[in-house]
A = this chain, B = another copy of it.
Amino acid sequence: TSKDDLKGLLETLLHWDMVTVTTSQGLLALLTAAARMRGDHPELAQRIEDYFDYCKRNDLRCVQAITDAKGDRRVAPGGQADPDVYTRIVERRPDGIVIRGAKLHISSAAISHELVVMPTKNMKPGEEDYAVACAIPVNAPGVRIVNTSYAPREREEDFPVSSKHNMPEGFIIFDDVFVPNERVFLAGETGHSATFAHALGLWERLGGTAHMSEFADQLVGLAQLIAEANGTERISHIREKVAEMIIYATMTRSGLEAAIANAEPSPEGWYFPSELFTNAAKHYAASEYSHMVRHLQDIGGGSIVTAPSVADLENDEVGPFIAKYMATKEGISGEYRTKLFHAIRDFTADAYGGWQLVTMLQSGGG
């Protein structure tokens, strides 16, 4: 790829659905890892490339199963009270390995075909059983996925955002799962245990920042719309808050543009976004996000959390009154303004909004 391709790729990332993004990031990372491992372990590299072809041929959706349960955060895998809190090889057979453990918070796991398992961190000599990467079909014997989701279970019309965009997370259990050799990409080669997560990390942070950039634009848009609907868009403190939000959105976007503009070729000749700019943008965007949400909530007013439901609005007895009193001026009907408040609540002050806040801080490696 060249830099221009990269810029195109970024736009693409923003329009694909999440599983597709996950799949392509994951496979890209596998290919990068293959390239880096070819020197030391040509046959592992070959297996990865064969697996890549297989997924492409069959149009499979893959998820990246990295994050382990991890137990006590201060303690190395081998020293944990329960040795399984980092996923590990419990048996090595001539035809494959058997793994035990769990991978947590795995996005889209329950709606994918393939789980691409990689080590959560660098493993040291002595931790060979924990240096495991492989691919497992979701329906392999011994795999269980407990799904969690913030998707609204009721009144979808009050959740205009999260009823459309939501991400199921999977708590994946490997209850002694057999993985045949051709699907094993790492089984004790500790020197390469960080290669996978590292290859993935940069893409994840770039993708994450691209999404934060989109959210930032949406926060600005909602702020401006609700200020106009309230009639406050020209009031000095409201304008300053919107201006701060625009600066935030613009700086986040700058970081992405600079990451792309300063892309560097890897030894394999592929272009990677600049690590310095990607990381700076990611940290900046994540650390200021909650402050921008506060601005939007400040601008909007109490109806963000107290607006009557859409069902109330459609109710014959009280609906017309709600429409009357939620209206503010010509061109701003009560129905429109009520729905705007629900969008703001759903986006920033309810299950999906909370999920965003946490995800911004934690996903992509915390």
In the complex with contacts A74-B235, A240-B237, A321-B173, A305-B359 CB distance below 8 A? yes
Q: Which of A31-39, A42-50, A121-129, A274-282 contacts B (4 or more CB under 8 A)?
A: A274-282
Q: Are the CB atoms of A304 and B358 closer together than 8 Å?
A: yes
Which residues 307-365 in A have Cβ within 8 Å of B in the complex?
A: 307-309, 312, 317-318, 321-322, 324-330, 345, 348-351, 353-355, 357-359, 361-363
- Judge whether A250 is part of the interface by a CB distance below 8 angstroms: yes
Does any Cβ of B come within 8 Å of A293's Cβ? yes
Q: Which of B69, B232, B307, B330 contacts A325 (CB 8 A)?
A: B69
Residues in B neighbouring A75, C-beta threshold 8 A:
231, 329
Chain multiplicity (copies):
4
| A302→B167 CA distance, assembly (Å) | 14
Q: Is the CB of A329 within 8 A of B72?
A: yes
A81 pairs with B330, CB closer than 8 A: yes
Q: Is A148 an interface residue (CB 8 A)?
A: yes
* Overall SS of chain A's interface: helix
> Contacts A322-B146, A354-B350 hold; do A81 and B329 have CB atoms under 8 A apart?
yes
Per-residue B-contact encoding for A56-93, CB less than 8 Å = 1, 0 else: 00000000000101111111000011101100000000
**Top 8 closest A-B pairs, CB basis?**
A349-B354, A72-B231, A250-B280, A236-B236, A254-B258, A69-B325, A102-B325, A254-B254
